[in-house]
Amino acid sequence: MTSPSPEEPLLLAELKPGRPHQFDWKSSCETWSVAFSPDGSWFAWSQGHCVVKLVPWPLEEQLIPKGFEAKSRSSKNDSKGRGSLKEKTLDCGQIVWGLAFSPWPSPPSRKLWARHHPQVPDVSCLILATGLNDGQIKIWEVQTGLLLLNLSGHQDVVRDLSFTPSGSLILVSASRDKTLRIWDLNKHGKQIQVLSGHLQWVYCCSISPDCSMLCSAAGEKSVFLWSMRSYTLIRKLEGHQSSVVSCDFSPDSALLVTASYDTSVIMWDPYTGERLRSLHHTQLEPAMDDSDVHMSSLRSVCFSPEGLYLATVADDRLLRIWALELKAPVAFAPMTNGLCCTFFPHGGVIATGTRDGHVQFWTAPRVLSSLKHLCRKALRSFLTTYQVLALPIPKKMKEFLTYRTF
C-alpha cells in the first residue's frame, strides 16, 4: 500500500563549500548538479568554483539523524568498508555543470577490459563523468580520485551527462553547442555519434532504464525522443509553452516527465507520444502583479526509485513532492535558490543543489509499493505500450498497465 499523506520533507543535513571563496566569490558558485552513485555508496556535487566534492554515503552519523541512514550495497560491510571510502575533492579546472556516475560494471566486464586494454586506463571501476564550461568532459575513477580520460568534441558548455543504465559504459552528453554526443568509454572514450536538430542550448538528457530511448530538452517548447539503438529521432513531444529544462523517465521506462519555464510538468507516454497529465506549479500566495509570473518557473524534475512519486524544484523557493495519481503536490519544503534535485537510489532521501553552492538532504516518502504496482513495473520494464494494448486482457487492466487510470 502507498502512504496516503506523506509528511512534509524534513531537512536532514546541509553541506556547504568548505573553503573560503577568493575574489568574486558570488560568481560561479552554483551547484548545477547533484548525483548519487547507482549503488548508493557515493554522493557527488558540483560545489562551484571548478570543484566537485565526492562524499561517501551515508554521511557522518552526526549529520544524519538516527533512522535515516539509507541502506546501500556496502551497508553490510559498513564497519569494514566505510573506513576505506574517503571524501575526495576533484579540481576540474573549469566550472562544472553536469555530473553522472556510471553503473557498477559486472566482474566479467572488468576481466575483459583488463585482457583487451592492458595499456589503457581502467574504466571498469565506478567512474564519475564531469561536464565542463569549456566543452570538455573529464572521466574520474571514484575510488582513487584519479583522472582517467578527457573527452573533447563539444564547442560549448557540457550541461548534462547520462550513462546507459545497462553498464555498457556508453555516455551521452548534452551541450550548449546545440548537440548531443555519444561516447563509448570501452573504446578509449571514442565519440561514436553526434545528434543534431536542436535550435537552442541543450539543457538535459535522460536515458530510459531499458536503454531503448534518449530524451533531450533544450531551450525550446518541444522535447526530442531518440532511439538509443539507431541514434535517430523517434518523435518530438509538443505541449509546453516555454523552454523545457529538465526531463526524467520512470523506473519502468513507461512514463516520461518534462519540466518547463512555463511552470508545468507534463507526463508523457514515450511510446505513443500521448500527453497523459499536466502538473501546474501555482504560487501558494497570490502574486501582487503580473511581474511575478515567472516565480514558479521549473528548474528540475525527477522520479522516485519505486516510481510512485515525483520531486520538483521551482523558482518560487519550494521543493514539491507529487504522488503519481494526484494532480496537486502532497508535500512542500521551503528552499531558496534551488537548481536541481535527485532521489537516493534506494529511497527515503532527496538531495537538492542551490545557487549558493550548497546541498540539502530532505526526507522523502517511504512507501511499500502495492502488489499491483510491482506487477505493472515488472511488466512495463520489457513491454511497450503497444505490446500491452495487444494483450488479450480486460480493458481496465490495459488502462492500469499503461497509466491511463489517472
Task: Return the C-alpha cell found at 6.
Answer: 506523506
Contact in structure between 163 and 170 (CB atoms under 8 Å): yes
Mean pLDDT of the chain: 84
Q: Is 203 helix (H, G, I), strand (E, B) or coil?
A: strand
Say which range, 28-42, 49-63, 183-197, 243-257, has the weakest mean pLDDT. Answer: 49-63
In 33-106, which ranges are continuous DSSP H helix? 78-81
Task: Return the C-alpha cell found at 373.
Answer: 504496482
Q: Is the pLDDT of residue 27 over 80?
A: no
Average pLDDT over residues 168-183: 95
Average pLDDT over residues 339-364: 92
Average pLDDT over residues 12-25: 66
Whole-number Å distance between alpha carbons of 341 and 359: 9
Q: Which strands form 158-163's sheet, in the order they lie side by side?
A: 158-163, 170-175, 180-184, 190-195
Whole-number Å distance between alpha carbons of 109 and 90: 26
Residue 227: strand pairing partners: 213
Q: Please report the sign of the dihedral spanned by the C-alpha atoms of residue 241, residue 244, residue 245, residue 248.
A: positive
pLDDT digit string, tens, across residues 42-66: 999 888 788 899 999 988 754 555 5
Domain spans in the chain, listed from the N-terminal domain onward: 11-60+85-106+122-369
Average pLDDT over residues 280-305: 69
Q: How far is CA 385 from CA 53, 250, 269, 270, 303, in A?
A: 40, 14, 8, 9, 19
DSSP string, 230-273: T--EEEEEE--SS-EEEEEE-TTSS-EEEEETTSEEEEE-TTT-
Q: Is the pLDDT of residue 1 over 50?
A: no
Residue 248 or 20, more confident: 248
Residue 158 or 113, more confident: 158
Whole-number Å distance between alpha carbons of 297 and 55: 30
Q: Which of 83, 88, 94, 185 is nearest to 145 (CA)?
A: 88
Instruction: Provide the percentage of residues in the chain whose pLDDT is more than 70.
Output: 82
Q: Which fold has domain 11-60+85-106+122-369?
A: Methylamine Dehydrogenase; Chain H (2.130.10)
pLDDT of amino acid 130: 96
Residue 36: strand pairing partners: 43
Whole-number Å distance between alpha carbons of 6 and 173: 35
Query: What H or E segment, with its residue span, contains residue 375?
Result: helix 371-380
Q: How confident is the model at residue 124 (pLDDT cuts 50, 70, 90)?
A: low
Q: Which amino acid is at 278?
A: S
Contact in structure between 335 and 375 (CB atoms under 8 Å): no
Q: How confident is the model at residue 70 (pLDDT cuts 50, 70, 90)?
A: very low
Contact in structure between 42 and 101 (CB atoms under 8 Å): yes
Q: Is the pLDDT of residue 25 over 80?
A: no
pLDDT of amino acid 237: 95
Q: How confident is the model at residue 3 (pLDDT cuts 50, 70, 90)?
A: very low
